[in-house]
Structure formats: C-alpha cells, structure tokens
Amino acid sequence: MISRRQLWSLLALTLMWGINWPMMKYSLRELSPLYFRALTMTFGALWLYSFYRFKGVRMLPQGREWRSVVALGLPNMLGWHTLAILGVKELASGRAAILGFTMPIWTVLLGVLFLGERLTRRVALAAAAVALAITLLTFNEFTALSGRPLGIVWMELAALCWATGTLMLRRARLTLPVETLTVWMMILTSACLWVIAALNEPWPTWQFSGLMWGSLVYGALINYGFAQTIWSGLARHLPPATSAMSIMAVPLVGTLSATLIVGEWPHWQDFVAALCVMAAIAAVLIPPRQPKPSV
C-alpha cells in the first residue's frame, strides 16, 4: 500500500520530469544543446555528490567498480542525454518526451531479441502501439512546413541507448551503491560533454536573460538534483505498477506544459501518440492481474 507521503513524492516527481521537457526547449533558445547539457549535468552531479556524501553514502568507487561506472555510463548517461537533447533541439518538446519514453518498450523488445526473453501477447501489442505512435509523429513531421524528422531519429536512438543501459544495469553485479554509480556516471558524462561541445559548438556568451538562468537552475537542481533523490528513495519501495504509472504520465505532462512554457500547441497526432505510448508502457510494466485461487 502506497503511503500519502510516497503519493505526493510520486506526483512531484512526475511533474518535475514532465515539465523538464519544455524547460529544456526554452533553454535552447539562448544556449546550444551540448553546452546546456554539460552545464546542467555538471552542477546536478555536484549537488548530488554533496547530498549523498552528507547522508553517509560511500562516494568513491574502488578497483573494478570503475569499470562498471564507465560501461553503464556510456548508454545510460552519455548516449541517452546527448541524443535526447539533440532530439529536443529539433522537435517540439512534448513530442520529444513522447518518443523518449518509448524506452520501456524497447527494453522489453531488446530482451526478447537478444536475451531469450519470451514474446508475450502484451509485448506484441505494446510494440504495435509504439509503432503507431512513431508513425503518427513521423507523418506529421514530414508534412509540417517546419518539420524536423531527424529529431525523431535522435529521440529513438536515445530511447534505445536508455533501454540498452537499463538491461545492462539489471544484469550487472554491482558492489558500489547505486547513488555512487549514478553520480559518477554523471560526472564522467559531463566531462565528455564539455569536450564534445567544445569541438562542435561555439563558446557561449553567458549573457542570458533572467528566465534563462532560472531554466538552467531548474535543469541542474530540480531535474538532476531533487528529482533524482526522490526517485532513488521511491524506486526501492514502490511496486512496478506504481512506478509505471509515473512513467506513463510524464509524456502527457510534458505535452500539456509545453503550451504554457514555450507556446507549443499540440496536434491531435501528439495526443493519440501519447495515449499509444502510455498504453504500451502499461502493457509491459504493469503486472497482469493474478487469478483468485478457487476455494
């Protein structure tokens, strides 16, 4: 049974993650995508490092634990966060959120294809729902005058990276705390992003508007800071069905909040695609109801 405190925490987390998508889009009006990601992740990692160290968590990996940090950080952090911000640059933020949160379905499909997991009817229906969502958004991007179909490619590659990293994380034999793993994946990824940004984007002027600075603070402290600490606390105690409900709601929150934050008006394709992705996530993450034993 979920407590009232957990319920409020879950609601706050869903809003933080959902609103983060249009906040990222807003930030890209004044800052290039790779520098934006490097800046917010760096300060988010420092925030989390300080918080977890204060809580008494062992914060320094030892020996072969560094191998786990690098191997898991490549898809989970560097791949997902780099490709996702490139996708947000090209797409409407709500649309990018819908495509990014196809990750749980790709996780299950990759498990079926490469790890010998069973293809169930629910997985097949989830795959069909995601295919319909991608088709709707792709068609709309190709027919819109300002469409950027390349953004769909970036977002689906990002979702595949996240899915691959999730499978690797499930099979990893970790000896270091998950909090330590997360922080050091962020630290190493942000260092890589600073280098990649320097090679591909002009150096920022750092003369931003007040709203832009607020958006950067949101990305560092709320998205990478508070949201991550809330999720770390909830993930250990929430049942899969409850976690799935939070993940399902994020694309819808992102789509709706984009209208207020960046003035993006969703089309009917966005709402149908969001419903398809939510249904697919429910199919693969929410456990089927067990039949009642006969008396």
Find the domain containing 113 and state its range: 4-54+62-201+209-285
| pLDDT tens profile 135-155 | 888 877 766 645 567 898 999
pLDDT tens digits, one per residue of 95-115: 999 999 888 889 888 988 888
pLDDT of the residue at 145: 45
Provide the number of structural domains found in the chain.
Answer: 1
CA distance 230 to 228: 5
* 265 domain-assigned: yes
Contact 21, 94 (CB under 8 A): yes
The residue that leads in pLDDT, 250 or 57, is 57
pLDDT of residue 291: 61
Residue 278, in any domain of the structure: yes
pLDDT tens track for 213-232: 999 999 999 999 988 888 76
Domain membership flag for residue 291 = no
Establish if 290 belongs to a structural domain: no
Is residue 74 assigned to a domain? yes
Residue (of 72, 178, 136, 168) closest to 272 by Cα position: 136
**Has residue 190 got a pLDDT over 70?**
yes
With respect to residue 183, please indicate whether it lies within any of the assigned structural domains: yes
Checking if the pLDDT of 5 tops 50, the result is: yes
Higher pLDDT, 237 or 162: 162
Model pTM greater than 0.85? yes
Our CA dihedral for 268, 162, 155, 99, rounded to 10 degrees, sits at 0
Residue with tokens 């609103």: 19
Region of 116 (left: φ > 0; alpha: ψ -120 to 50; beta: rest) is left
Stronger pLDDT, 116 or 67, i.e. the higher one: 67
Query: What whole-number distance in Å separates Cα of residue 184 and Cα of residue 41?
Result: 11
Query: Is the residue at 97 inside a domain?
Result: yes
| Residue 15 pLDDT | 92
